[in-house]
């Protein structure tokens, strides 16, 4: 597979875990950036995790974001996502965040 840039999007992230992106079988990806935008009227915490077969690892946990503001969580860092691994977000209120993850898919 050729390298392809992709934007993975999740809307209305809330109290149930939202999968933003899952790397397909046999395909590796690199997370280049992840922006979480608070669309609620309150200041809320949000968590972003890498879900692996061995369990979850937090990229950021309970990062408080003001209403109407967004947070770029990667800030120049990169993260490899192996086949079957997922990027997952959760917060404390329903329909509170939107997410856009910039991903380079098909890396070797």
Q: Write the pLDDT tens digit of every residue in 65-107.
A: 999 999 999 988 999 999 999 999 999 999 999 999 999 999 8
Instruction: Give me the pLDDT at residue 39, please.
Output: 98
Instruction: Give me the pLDDT at residue 1, please.
Output: 58
Would you give the distance in Å from CA 85 to the centre of its chain?
Answer: 12
Structural domain including 48 reads 4-107
The CATH number for 28's domain is: 2.60.120
Nearest to 59 by CA among 79, 43, 45, 39: 79
Q: How many domains does the chain have?
A: 1
Q: Write the pLDDT tens digit of every residue in 22-76.
A: 999 999 999 999 999 999 999 999 999 999 999 999 999 999 999 999 999 998 8
């Amino acid at each position: 597979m050729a390298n392809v840039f992709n934007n993975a999007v999740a809307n209305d992230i809330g109290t149930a875990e939202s999968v933003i992106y899952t790397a397909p079988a046999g395909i590796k990806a690199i997370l280049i950036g992840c922006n979480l935008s608070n669309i609620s009227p309150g200041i809320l915490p949000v968590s972003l995790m890498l879900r692996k077969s061995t369990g979850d690892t937090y990229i950021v946990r309970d990062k408080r974001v003001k209403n109407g503001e967004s947070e770029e969580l990667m800030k120049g860092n990169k993260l490899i996502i192996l086949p079957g691994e997922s990027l997952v977000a959760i917060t404390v209120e329903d329909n509170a965040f939107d997410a856009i993850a910039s991903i380079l898919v098909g890396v070797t």
